[in-house]
Amino acid sequence: MKEDCPIVVEVNPEYSPEHSEPDQGRYVFIYYINIRNTGAQSAQLISRHWVITDANGKVEEVRGDGVVGEQPVLESGDEHFYNSFCVLETSVGCMQGSYMMLGEDGRYFDAPIPAFTLAVPGAIN
C-alpha cells in the first residue's frame, strides 16, 4: 500500500545546540512531524518504527506504541502534529521509518516516513 498510502508524513528536523554537547559526542536533534490523512476512511496510528543512522554507520532501531504517548485517530482530511527528539554521537545522521496504521475497515497498513537528514548547520555543504 506504499505507492498510494493515504497517510502522508512530513518531517522538519532541526539541531538543538542548547541541549547538545559536541565535545562529548552528544548532538541533539528535534524533529517536527505532520501526519496527514488524505484517504477516504479514518485511520489510527498504532505504533512507530524508526531507523536512525549516524555518520559512523551506527544504526539504531526504535519501535514503540503510538507517538509521544498517543495513538491518534485521523479522520479523513485530519492532520496530527507532534515533535520529539533523538541524540546522535555525530554531527550528521539520518532517520526514516514507518507508522503502523489501523484503517476503519479493520486492516493494518504501514505509512512510510521518508528518510530525512539530521545535520548541525554547516556540517554539510
Number of domains in the chain: 1
Examine residue 69 and state whether it is found in any structural domain, yes or no. Answer: yes
pLDDT tens for 40-78 read: 999 999 999 999 999 999 999 999 999 999 999 999 999
C-alpha cell at 98: 514507518
Residue range(s) defining the domain that contains residue 24: 7-114
Q: Judge contact between 7 and 114, C-beta under 8 A.
A: no
pLDDT tens for 89-120 read: 999 999 999 999 999 999 999 999 999 999 99
pLDDT band at 4 (very low <50, low <70, confident <90, very high): confident
Considering only CA atoms, give the Rg of the chain. 16
User: CATH number for the domain including 31?
Assistant: 2.60.40.1470
In the block, residue with C-alpha cell 498510494: 4
